[in-house]
Amino acid sequence: MASISGYERPDLRDLLAFYAEAGVDDALADDPIDRFAENVRQQTAAAQQAARATPSGAGRSEAVPARNDRFAAAPSRPMASASVPDEAQAAAARELASKATTLDELRQIMEGFEGCNLKTTAKSLVFADGNPQAELMLVGEAPGRDEDLEGLPFAGRSGQMLDRILAAIGLDRKSAYIANAIPWRPPGNRAPTPHEAEICRPFIERQIALANPKVLVTLDGLPAKLLTGSPDVIVRLRGNWKTHTTASGTVIPVMPTLHPDYLLRNPAHKKLAWRDFLEVKAKLRELSGS
């Protein structure tokens, strides 16, 4: 922080980091600017200038793009289209997801899927980390900035917390499989909308069916709601076994628990997560008969 006559001003770097974290990546002025009108003005001026410079009048109708005309002068590349989330996108996701017969196929299908608007602003598809053969699968909500940059779930501070939680029950990323309910980062880490969750639901459901874990842990409310159908808030849900039924009818026990980010903000509640993970450990023992 810089101090100017007693006023604490944030360092410019901190401020820019804050904006980047919030998903602000374009500089805007205080007053709105009509770039389209500006663009037309520039094109008209360029065309008039070209016409004046061509004595014969040849090429009069050809507009010369102005140097800073970012629309007209832009190289022609396909524009990323942001689909408005609706039921048609969710139906397309369901159909595509059901075709995947392996996790690799599913990842490829998701890489090629253009029906989720979140993909437009995300840098990566955050598919999974860990061991797909593991008995335990954890499902988080959605990638944040670190995960989007690395292309891996729980890559940042909350991931370190998750690693400590797993270590407490004798597991690590080689003995657990980790994914997210939403595989693309929502801009500025905003909460995914119900439509976005519905579009992504078939993918995480298929991922679970293909990984076929013995036990699922959902981290936070959204994956718990999506996978168990329970409308309860996470503080009421957590610590109580629920189930997830795959499309082929396999019933998987689900332990809804608190998100590592929440535990970082509320360390006093770590004891609740600890209890939940002891339950998970006991369930894994019970199901593997040891």
Neighbours of 214 (CB within 10 A): 15
Contact between 192 and ligand URA per CB under 6 A: no
Question: Based on CB atoms, which residue is closest to ligand URA, 198 or 261?
Answer: 261
For residue 130, the minimal CB distance to ligand URA (Å) is: 12
Contact between 142 and ligand URA per CB under 6 A: yes
Question: Based on CB atoms, which residue is closest to ligand URA, 96 or 161?
Answer: 161
Question: Based on CB atoms, which residue is closest to ligand URA, 148 or 279?
Answer: 148
Beta strands 7-9 and 242-245: pairing type? unpaired
Contact between 154 and ligand URA per CB under 6 A: yes
How many residues bind ligand URA (CB under 6 A)? The answer is 12
Q: Per-residue string for binding with ligand URA, 206-225, x by CB under 6 A?
A: -------------x------
Question: Do residues 215 and 255 lie in contact, with contact meaning Cβ atoms separated by under 8 Å?
Answer: yes
Among 63, 100, 110, 140, binds ligand URA (CB under 6 A): 140
For residue 275, the minimal CB distance to ligand URA (Å) is: 21
Question: Do residues 196 and 141 lie in contact, with contact meaning Cβ atoms separated by under 8 Å?
Answer: no
Give the Cα-Cα-Cα angle 287, 98, 201 (nearest 5 degrees): 75
Contact between 153 and ligand URA per CB under 6 A: yes
Q: Which of residues 256-285 bind ligand URA (CB under 6 A)?
A: 261
Question: Do residues 136 and 211 lie in contact, with contact meaning Cβ atoms separated by under 8 Å?
Answer: no
Residue whose pair of structure tokens reads 């900035």 in the numeric block: 145
Q: Give the up-direction half-sphere exposure of residue 67: CA atoms within 13 A in the CB hemisphere.
A: 0
Six token digits for residue 114: 């253009």
